[in-house]
Homo-oligomer: A and B are copies of this chain.
Amino acid sequence: MKRKVTLKQIAKELDVSVSTVSKALRNSKEISLDTRSKVQAFAKLYNYRPNNIALSLKNKRTKTIGVIIPEIVHHFFSKVISGIEKEANNRGYNVIIGLSNESFDKEVINIEMLANGSIDGFILSVAKETLLLQDYHHFYETINQGMPIVMFDRVVNEIACDKVVVDDKLGSKKAVAKLIDSGCENIALITTKDYVNVGKLRTQGYLEALEEHKITPKSSLIIKVEENKDKEIEIETLEKEISALLDKEKSIDGIFAVNELYAITAMKIAINKGYKIPENMSIVAFTDGVLSKHAIPSLSTISQHAVEMGEKSATMLIDKLEELVDEEKYQTEVINTTLIERDTTR
């Protein structure tokens, strides 16, 4: 086993000084061509690679980005990460991942763990619990220490930092408009409670779309799901609510759900109840993922372009780190949504 070789060892072996080796390897013309080639040959032979940690300490930058997300077993977030990773790697950065599991404490711990020199900046999406508690001290502290943050998707408006978001309201409007255009007149909404920002915005989009088309929203057509750590329970509860809704409101001919899973759940129940999709029931979901694509029938969705969100977040962060952009100026990038028409709409 040959341990990693260091400058010191090369210097000793070749009987020159460490600084000579260092310069020779960077091909400095301070050093004679003779020495240079000798050193370089030796380094190559022993497969010398500079130690990143030493470089980080010296340069006060690690060339790595910290990413904190609520969960990773989630199509949207893993897509965002793949976007971040792609852009980061292109620009010579590594990516270190922390999971908050939607917990405030884990988010704080993860941030503290990474903020002590391990990374140059954060890209993150805020945990639900944090949003609920509205305790943002860890973000403020990080920013105060001069470490830049880019928030994506679940952002905190009042914090001064770069942000990458989707136009949730507009996305919803597109979805609902599609349903209306294809002839739906009684469109149900399946959304989350309002404290999750995106749920709130998507609900607004639904309402506005109806109003713009002179349709009076009826609260009896809206289900607001209480989220549960145990998804099974959440979905079971939702199933009952949907079933009751469809039994009571026979006129429903369209459903807009704020995420794939709610939409799939609704579709399953509708199919069981004998609805023909999309003939007498159309469905659109926010958030495009594998589930929608491979469902039978495949679901029409609003795509959030997650990969693009990741890329954009990384670009913004790295630009700031490399001072290509004014340190004090914060931007909010809005990523477009697109309607993907598949088999649940006419």
A264 CA to B298 CA, complexed, in Å: 12
A283-322 with Cβ < 8 A to chain B:
290-291, 294-296
Task: Judge whether A117 and B3 touch: CB under 8 Å.
Answer: no
A261 CA to B293 CA, complexed, in Å: 11
For residue A14, CB closer than 8 A to chain B, the reply is no
Task: Judge whether B72 and A78 touch: CB under 8 Å.
Answer: yes
Task: Judge whether B62 and A53 touch: CB under 8 Å.
Answer: yes
A99-140 with Cβ < 8 A to chain B:
99, 112-118
User: How close is A27's CB to chain B, nearest CB, in angstroms?
Assistant: 19
Task: Judge whether B82 and A78 touch: CB under 8 Å.
Answer: no
Query: Which bucket holds chain A's interface residue count?
Result: 35 or more
A50 CA to B116 CA, complexed, in Å: 7
Chain copies in the assembled complex: 2
* Contact residue among B73, B96, B295 (Cβ-Cβ distance under 8 Å from A64): B96
Residues of B within 8 A of A94 (CB): 96, 98, 113-114, 118
Task: Judge whether A117 and B73 touch: CB under 8 Å.
Answer: no
For residue A1, CB closer than 8 A to chain B, the reply is yes
Residues of B within 8 A of A112 (CB): 49
Residues of B within 8 A of A74 (CB): 78
Task: Judge whether B53 and A3 touch: CB under 8 Å.
Answer: no
